[in-house]
Chain A
């Protein structure tokens, strides 16, 4: 079973920040938080991942709470092309393979 809980859907106005929450209260010390998204009719796309520190890349920022039981993915200026299903995934870190288990995800709709 997936180890994360996400709201099933969210709306965001174009140009505003989209903040997508994820609960992972049973996360272990060696498990990372990964975010992927899937635009309709495409394969999932990696966005970002982190262990305990906040992370930022060209696509998004990842904020992980100090107790690591929840996190938030931030898309700073959402565009219509960011409309997708966003998956928060917890998995073991370096050296692990294959156990990328997808939960139900959040369907983000960016509206003009």
Chain B
């Protein structure tokens, strides 16, 4: 299994809603990432987890809250989002071993905030 699975594929939410994005991998990878991608722009790094601990937070607003409950799962909890947060949210994983920095990406969750 060389896949990173993201659910849901599409999500529409209001500014007062609370929702969560989920990401799962069964490749034994110990590093997991969240990226945000606006239309026609490159992906932007948001968070990195290494061995289930948050190692990088790229100054992301607190309305985005990541969680890594175990080595296979990564969540992104959303609360009080703004319309400008509408984007494709990509999850990725990698082995986190020196010399193995190849990232595997999921297909993303397309989020629309109304």
- Mark interface residues in B91-107 (1 if CB within 8 Å of A CB, else 0): 01010101101111111
- Please name all residues of chain A whose beta carbon is closer than 8 Å to the beta carbon of B45 when the two chains form the complex: 98-101
Cβ–Cβ contact A87 & B42, under 8 A: yes
A-B contact count (CB 8 A): 64
Cβ–Cβ contact A94 & B103, under 8 A: no
Cβ–Cβ contact B55 & A94, under 8 A: no
- Please name all residues of chain A whose beta carbon is closer than 8 Å to the beta carbon of B50 when the two chains form the complex: 97-98
The answer for the CA separation of A49 and B55 in the assembled complex, in Å, is: 24
Q: Which of B28-44 contact A (CB under 8 A)?
A: 31, 33, 42-44
**Measured between C-beta atoms, what is the minimum distance from A36 to chain B in Å?**
8
Q: Which of A44-60 contact B (CB under 8 A)?
A: 44-46, 49
- Mark interface residues in B34-66 (1 if CB within 8 Å of A CB, else 0): 000000001111001010000110000000000
Nearest B residue to A100 by beta-carbon distance? Answer: B103
Q: Which of A72-103 contact B (CB under 8 A)?
A: 85, 87, 91, 93-103
**Is B4 at the interface (CB under 8 A from chain A)?**
yes
Chief secondary structure at chain B's binding surface: strand
Cβ–Cβ contact A98 & B107, under 8 A: no
Interface size on B, residues (CB 8 A): 25
Cβ–Cβ contact B56 & A98, under 8 A: yes
Please tell me the size bucket of the interface on A: 20 to 34
Q: Which of B31, B43, B48, B105 contacts A45 (CB 8 A)?
A: B105
**Is B74 at the interface (CB under 8 A from chain A)?**
no
**Is A112 at the interface (CB under 8 A from chain B)?**
no
Given the contacts A93-B101, A98-B55, A42 and B107 also touching, CB distance less than 8 Å? yes
Cβ–Cβ contact A43 & B108, under 8 A: yes
Given the contacts A97-B55, A105-B42, A41 and B99 also touching, CB distance less than 8 Å? no
- With A46-B102, A104-B42 given, name 4 new contacts (CB 8 A): A43-B108, A91-B101, A97-B48, A98-B33
